[in-house]
Structure formats: C-alpha cells, structure tokens
Amino acid sequence: MPIKASLPPEPEFGVPLSPNHPSPETLKLLALRRSTPVAALSEPGPAADDLDAMLRLAMRVPDHRKLEPWRVVIIEGEARARFGDVLAAARHLRDPDATPEQLATERALPFRAPVILCVVSSPVHDKKGTPVWEQQLSAGAFCQNLLIASQAMGWAGVWISEDAAYDGHVHAALGLSGHEQVAGFIYLGTAKEQPIERQRADVSAKATRWTG
C-alpha cells in the first residue's frame, strides 16, 4: 500500500549532517528491490505531493561541483495522449512504412502507467571543466534514487528507454536542448501482479581486490 512520505525538513545550507544513517529497512529494500515490468503497471499512480517528495529525495544524489546536471519532465493524465501522438509521429519518421497498427501501438505506450517521469541528463559546461561523463552518471543515479524512493513509498515502477529516449523528434517535443539526452523514462503506478525474481549477478564473479 502506498504511504505518505513523512520527510524531515530540508537541512539548512552549511549545517553538519550525520555521515551515516543505520537503517535495516533500507538494507531490506535494497536486498529485495525489483522493478515491475511495464506491462504489469496500472492505475492508480502517485499524486502531485507524492511526486514532489520523490523528486526531493532523488535530488539528494552525488553531484560533483553541485551542477545539478539533470531535470525532469512529468507526463501524466491527458498529456499521455499527446505524448502518444509524438511517439507515433516519431515512429513514422523513422519508418515511413509503419502500419496503422504499429502506429496505434506507439500511441498506446504512454498509457502503460499513470505517471511517466522523463529524466533528462543536462550537462553543464562549467569553467572548471567538470567531465560530462560524471554529470551523466549523476543523472543515472537520479533515476535510481527515484526508483528507490517510489518503492519505499509503496509504488511500483520501472526505468526504461526504448526508441523514444534516442529519437530527435521526441527530444524536440519534450523541449530538450542539443546537449541534453534522455537518461530514462521512469514509469510509475500500481502493480497488477507481483514481479518475479530475476537472475542476479554473483559478487565473486564481479568483484576483485587489487593488490598492486
């Protein structure tokens, strides 16, 4: 069941903060976290105050030199139909031979969930030359924070890209500038069914100790 986030007040700038926050519930969430396949999402979705809380949490993300190299476009309600038209037009531009059925499928994509958060990677070219790659990683971490925050609040979600994330027509419709990219679309809603566990990486196969 979704819960209303009871967040502490935002700390004032410059105040000391704890370097750690022991939390068995956080460890449990991370140990069991699983995205819900987009086909298993349905109504209802998070309301405006839920989204505000999620975004506040997502923004507490590693961000070298405090550049805030990300932003979010919220797509919900009737705007999903207009976004569906954009996806269909983009498909037609990529594939002029697309059938009416294929275009109808594109129009239906935004209705797979009640809320879509388009996370935009928006690197800043600062005087100190902060690497763009670091800023893009921050946008990726922003997406992960959104998933964790939404699940902790009782919502189901998934981070996907699909063709839309790399399509110039979609970028223009969403107001992206030339230097921006879609880090991902976070689809949020209520799970119609429980997602099943997937294959996980073996720590011993992915972690090594460097000894010089």
Using the structure block, give the residue that is written with the tokens 């349905």: 42
Pairing of strands 41-42, 181-191: antiparallel
* pLDDT score of 79: 98
Radius of gyration of the chain (CA): 19
Q: Whole-prediction pTM value?
A: 0.95
Residue 148 in contact with residue 29, Cβ under 8 Å? yes
Residue 150 CB burial class (10 angstroms; 0-12, 13-18, ≥19): buried
Four-residue CA torsion sign, 75, 175, 168, 186: negative
> Which residues on adjacent β-strands are paired with residue 190?
42
Residues with Cβ within 8 Å of residue 66, at least 6 apart in sequence? none
Distance CA 203, CA 179 (A): 36
Q: Per residue of the chain (212 residues), what is the pLDDT tens digit?
A: 788 888 999 999 999 999 999 999 999 999 999 999 999 999 999 999 999 999 999 999 999 999 999 999 999 999 999 999 999 999 999 999 999 999 999 999 999 999 999 999 999 999 999 999 999 999 999 999 999 999 999 999 999 999 999 999 999 999 999 999 999 999 999 999 999 999 999 999 999 999 99
Q: How far, in Å, CA of 83 to CA of 167, rounded?
A: 13
Output the pLDDT for position 178. 94
62: amino acid identity, one letter: P
Residue entry with tokens 């839920």: 50
Please enumerate, as own/partner, the contacts of 191-196 that have beta carbons within 8 Å and a separation of 24 or more. Answer: 191/36, 191/40, 191/41, 191/42, 191/156, 192/40, 192/41, 192/42, 193/40, 195/34, 195/35, 195/36, 195/37, 195/40, 195/156
pLDDT value at position 1? 76
CA 177/CA 119 separation, integer angstroms:
14
